[in-house]
Structure 1
Amino acid sequence: MIRIAVDGMGGDYAPEPIVKGTLMALEKFDNIEITLFGDETKMAPYLKQHPRLQVIHTTHFLEMGEKDPIRAYRKNKELSMFMAMQHVKDGLSDAVVSAGPTQALVVGGHFIIRRMASMPRVAIAPIVPSLDGRGRILLDSGANVDFKPEHLLSFAIYASIVANKVLKREKPQVALINIGTEDSKGRDFDKETFALLEASKDINFYGNLEPKEILTSEADIFLSDGFTSNIVMKTMEGTAKGMGMILKREIKSSIFATIGALFMRKALKRFKKSLDASEIGGALLMGFDGIVIKAQGASQSYGFMNGIRQAKEMVDANVIQLVSEVLTKKEAVGE
């Protein structure tokens, strides 16, 4: 049985979508047990008894606008997010899922769960939409800005294992986001990273990738520093939202367009679904000694359920042990 700790009070609309998403996950997956941390009084209107659900009460939780998560952690260990993470640290859960503040989750990961000994840094790794509908791993999308090339190589190895074991890509390819496809493009950092990735026997290196190819590329993993990848991710989110608004405007522009849209209703629903973040669930915080999933702050119940699904799949694939074995072996041979 896979054991998952859930922060019941994290998110813009918590606790309703979190509790409902948790119950959806319990109904959908019969091999999970969930421990839900939060204010029972506030969660009560949405809670139902379930044999694989345990609720641990706390009245304390992080506001989404928390500006100093380190201070918050030091001041109060009874915050729902940190209690859920402690559950993982104590070996009582295999993974934690929260829609709470991203930086607080990163702080909790460092102070409570701790980093894997073989991972020098932590990365935020969401799965972004793609033309073929299979999604791609993008990292680091914001945990760090200042990297060394070897840090990106460790991320590439971790992401390759996730792509292979969880996303079922036979030989996942890693692309380095850059301003051009030529080997000589980019900053000194990009050139050094390119050389390191190209020489590695632990990944399948695709080469440089221009951001304009993000949705159409055959590569399975998009890699860069936290600043660049975060801009790519937010540009994608803004473009998808803008496209939807333009499409809606044009449909309403004339009676003929409205009638045409009625005939295309199924196609338009598929279009919306292909760009819908709730289909993905959340982002993996890659590098901690436990599975940590950051669900979207605006998660509704379906999206949060998918965040729990992600956690389940990561644990089921034994991702952390596999990554540790590969990186430890690299260190042993002095690579």
Structure 2
Amino acid sequence: MIKIAIDAMGGDYAPKEQVEGAVMAIKNIEDIELTLYGDEVEIRKYLTDETRITIVQSDGVISMGEKDPIAQIRGNRKSSMALALSSVRSGDNSAIVSSGATQALIAGAHILVGRLKQMKRTAIAPLIPRTDGGTTILLDAGGNLEIKPEFMVQQAYFAQVYSKEVLNVENPKLGLLNIGTEPGKGRQLDKEVFKLFTDNEKINFIGNIESKEILSPPCDILISDGFTANMVMKTIVGTAKGMGQMLKQELKQGFFGKLGMLLSARNLKRFKYRLNPEEIGGAMIYGLKGVVVKAQGSSTNVGFYNAIKVAAIIVRKDVLNKVKTILESDVL
């Protein structure tokens, strides 16, 4: 059985969506056991099935707007997030899924789970939808606002293993997010990273990728620093939401607009589904000694269920050990 820790109190709509998502996961994934960390009284309000589910009482919650996440984690080791993270370090669970505050989760993971010695920086790696129906790994989506070029090489190694094992891409292609496709474009960081990737035969690097190609890139992995990639990710989410609202407003105008909306209801539903980040699941935080998956802070039960599904796949495919082997031997 794959044992997964659930931070039941982290997130905008916790614990309702987290608990309901956990129940959905138990019903659909046969080889998992879940431990829910949080306020037992609150959790039981939404727990309709206790099959393969255990509750561990916690004391306190790491708030979503916490300004000093490191101090909060260090000062509240009995919070739901801290207890769940500690259970991965101790080996009681093989993974953790949390919708809690991103920086608190990263800080807590560093302190309580630990970073791989071969990885100098962690990275958040969400999947973004593609126009061809697939997904692209985007990193680093907020883990490091500033980073050294050589650290991005380590992240690229991790992403290639993840793409092969979890997304079943045979020979994943890597692209560098930049302001132009020509060599020599971008900041000093981009130029140095471009050279490192080009000279590295272990990385299937195809060059610079412009932001206009984000939803239809010729690569499987799109890499940049945390500041840039985080803005890209949030722009995609915001644009998709805004376009959906504008489309709905226009279709509601007049008789033919309403008729068109009625006739295209199924197509619009599929369009919304493809742009919904919750359908893709959570983002793994690369570079840790344990499997840590970050679900969206605003996750519904479906989004949280999909994040649990991602965590189970990562453990089942033994991604961490495969990455460790590659980093230690530096061979891809």
Q: Give, in whole Å, the separation in 1 of the partners of 2:290 and 2:218.
A: 30
Deviation at 1:218, TM superposition (A): 2.5
Q: Deviations over 1:53-74 (max 9, x none)?
A: 1110123111211111111122
Runs (5+) with no aligned partner, structure 1: none
Q: Give, in whole Å, the separation in 2 of the partners of 1:242 and 1:153.
A: 35
State the one-letter code of the partner of 1:197.
F
Aligned-partner SS, 1:190: helix
Aligned to 1:8: 8
Aligned-partner SS, 1:273: helix
Aligned to 2:184: 184
Q: Which runs of 4+ in 1 moved over 3 A?
A: none
- What are the residue-to-residue correspondences of 1:150-169 with 2, within 5 Å? 150-169=150-169
Aligned to 1:104: 104
CA contact (8 A) 2:62 2:73 kept: no
Q: Give, in whole Å, the separation in 2 of the partners of 1:79 and 1:126.
A: 25
Q: Give, in whole Å, the separation in 1 of the partners of 2:224 and 2:105.
A: 21
% of aligned pairs identical? 46
Aligned-partner SS, 1:46: coil
Q: Deviations over 1:25-79 (max 9, x none)?
A: 0110000111110101111111134331111012311121111111112212000
Aligned to 2:145: 145
- What are the residue-to-residue correspondences of 1:68-217 with 2, within 5 Å? 68-217=68-217
Deviation at 1:274, TM superposition (A): 0.6
Aligned to 2:313: 313
CA RMSD of aligned residues (A): 1.2
Aligned-partner SS, 2:126: strand
Aligned to 2:19: 19
Aligned to 1:57: 57
Q: Deviations over 1:274-333 (max 9, x none)?
A: 100110122111111111011001111010000000100111111111111111112xx9
Q: Give, in whole Å, the separation in 2 of the partners of 1:53 and 1:326.
A: 35
Q: Give, in whole Å, the separation in 2 of the partners of 1:165 and 1:308.
A: 17
Deviation at 1:179, TM superposition (A): 0.4
State the one-letter code of the partner of 1:267.
N
Q: Deviations over 1:129-162 (max 9, x none)?
A: 1111211110001111211111111111101111
Q: Does 1:241 align with 2:266?
A: no
Runs (5+) with no aligned partner, structure 2: none
What's the TM-score once normalised by structure 2's chain length? 0.98
Aligned-partner SS, 1:175: strand
- What are the residue-to-residue correspondences of 1:243-282 with 2, within 5 Å? 243-282=243-282
Aligned-partner SS, 2:120: coil
State the one-letter code of the partner of 1:299.
S
State the one-letter code of the partner of 1:44.
R
